[in-house]
Structure 1
């Protein structure tokens, strides 16, 4: 890689923590963040993260092994905290010697952080923190690093923008802790700004979704290239009893179908046919299926086109190495102008 002294200096803590050349993580995108994209990002100096999503332990074991055949660089695994086999998945990561585990989708259940850090191959734990109070609690509970992700991001989102979260949390936490910023980042100039505010690095998802190495269907990628920022909208919650985390995706028939799915699940709750936890799992499985239809099958009308608002900056397929170099060069240029 080329040399970017100012950016490298500000990213040093994050890069040392990840074991990568740059402190640029790829957000875990179900069906997209698999062996090909993850290994390409790690090989190009970034830090790839496998999206476990709804995988069984056996599937995750295979995915990790296949990724390890394609790269000898570090990469992480993203686990959903509400997965019914979470502790089995943690064991798979431990046996495979995965260096970093990202816990997403809610507060880590009791014992999960300890299981990750206390196995035969102790791993670093990265958690998502939507508020300052929760960030402090997660750090006290053993998280080694945090991702603060704003509502501009694709997929599951919180209610607050990246710029506000960064202003609120970085001055409080960044001096003593490793904090990565995510959500709506599409250019290196934004990376430079967050690094100057104290971030140890950044996480991008949408920017990598349409990389040459991404296995996403050509029609999925074309939908991204056609889209503007305003096309990436957050889903609506239809029933107050069903605490559905909003999901940001490109508007299509699939976003309407999700509203219908929520009504259906709410009906089963009304009739007391399922418990709340099962209702939430049904919603998660819906997203996994809808996402697969779009990413793998190319059904861009009925599938879920999860995308962040930075999607308007994507215009063409590019190799991962070019994306990372471009981001680093843009950041360096911005810092040099200061």
Structure 2
């Protein structure tokens, strides 16, 4: 028992900077996933000791206000709101968060301006940002960002080109002024522990929570996660550098295969002079319009966008959020205990 208590105390000490910053019992964030990270999942994560984050996405200010108020009715614990910096009504969305005393604002989907960062901080909220590279992380800290999330290419949804393993080695030793949370491909608590020991403040999980009982995602969506393997979560492929495709990781299905033929058809029409370059680019981009909602809400797992990280291979059953979080904590504690046993084991004769 004392070994377990000592391990828990060690874990508490390792992620104390993250817990202090978030105001949560555990430094475990929920990734902001469009259509998934809404009131039910966010409140469940925060109530279980983690830190839920609402995905604002393309919401209008009035819709975001509704979601914040509904979430606050379900939890008295801190939670955050993820805002896309390119949203045309970003200032109004920030004002909604501040008016409703949201404790943390996460600025994503682009580089936030110093003015936006100051607006959040002056309004009394903590502000976080994403850093896919060391140089950008340092720049954000200079601009006033109070915490960073570094997300590897193993993550689901829109991803960068570098794995979390490499990002952590590049960034964690070199940015120590603010808490840095790791994300991308995380499915177990002992994995988070390894990054805590490198200097991380905590970990962010998306895929495992998307498949939880409290997630409003369609049952067919969750079942696809339960059946999926790590290798099934693939990045979208770009056929022609003249027509950029934003890299997105999701489960391979009929839509991902059709996207390849769609790109090829559009590029061939452009080559023949049947369509202008700008129109061709729009046709390629519009292929996925509404596809995430089709998968998450309507349950069309073949023709929708099945955004998922490579940790999907570790989703073996649909469990309550509290069970998931408790398991993550237990796995970290058990890893610490195993290490102590190895260190103090008697040498073989």
Change in 2 beyond 3 A, CA 1:109/1:46: same
Give the count of matched residue pairs.
329
8 Å CA contact 1:238, 1:263 repeated in 2: no
- Rounded to whole Å, the distance in 1 between the matches of 2:119 and 2:288 is 28
Root-mean-square deviation (CA, aligned residues, Å) is 2.4
Q: Is contact 2:114–2:143 with CA below 8 Å preserved after alignment?
A: no
| Aligned match of 1:132 | 134
Q: Secondary structure at the match of 1:148?
A: strand
Bigger Rg over Cα: 2
Is residue 29–residue 204 contact of structure 2 (8 Å, CA) maintained in 1?
Answer: yes
**C-alpha displacement of 1:111:** 2.1
Report if the CA contact (8 A) 2:82-2:106 is conserved.
yes
Write out the 4+ residue segments of structure 1 that deviate beyond 4 Å after TM superposition. Answer: 261-269, 271-274, 285-288
Does residue 75 of structure 1 match 2:79? yes
Q: Say whether 1:23 aligns with 2:15.
A: no
Going from structure 1 to structure 2, the CA distance change for 1:264 and 1:186 (only over 3 Å counts) comes to same
**What residue number does 2:117 align with?**
113
State whether residues 85 and 110 of structure 2, in contact with CA within 8 Å, keep that contact through their aligned partners in structure 1: yes
The TM-score with structure 1 as length reference comes to 0.91
Q: Which runs of 5+ in 1 are unaligned?
A: none
C-alpha contact 1:186 1:207 (8 A) present in aligned 2: yes
Q: Secondary structure at the match of 1:45?
A: coil
2:170 to 168, 171, 174: 168
Q: 1:247 to 1:178 in 2, by over 3 A?
A: same
TM score, norm. by length of structure 2: 0.88
The residue that corresponds to 1:10 in the other structure is 14
Q: Which residue of 2 aligns with 1:61?
A: 65
Q: CA deviation at 1:322?
A: 0.7
In the aligned structure 2, how far is the partner of 1:33 from the partner of 1:195? Answer: 25
Q: Which whole-Å CA distance do the structure 1 matches of 2:252 and 2:107 have between them?
A: 28
- Aligned positions of 1:138-153 closer than 5 A: 138-153=140-155
How far apart in 1 are the matches of 2:181 and 2:265? Answer: 36
Distance in 2 (alpha carbons) for counterparts of 1:291 and 1:66: 23
Deviation at 1:255, TM superposition (A): 1.9
- The 1-side partners of 2:243 and 2:47 are apart by 41
**Which secondary structure does the structure 1 equivalent of 2:172 belong to?**
helix
Q: Which residue of the other structure, out of 40, 43, 47, is the alignment partner of 1:43?
A: 47
Q: Output the CA distance in 2 between the equivalents of 1:203 and 1:209.
A: 13
Say if 2:31 and 2:53, in contact at 8 Å, map to a contact too: yes
* Structure 2: gaps (5+ residues): 340-349
The offset of 1:54, in angstroms, is 1.0
* 2:99 corresponding residue in structure 1: 95
Q: Which region of structure 1 is more displaced relative to structure 2, 258-267 or 63-72?
A: 258-267
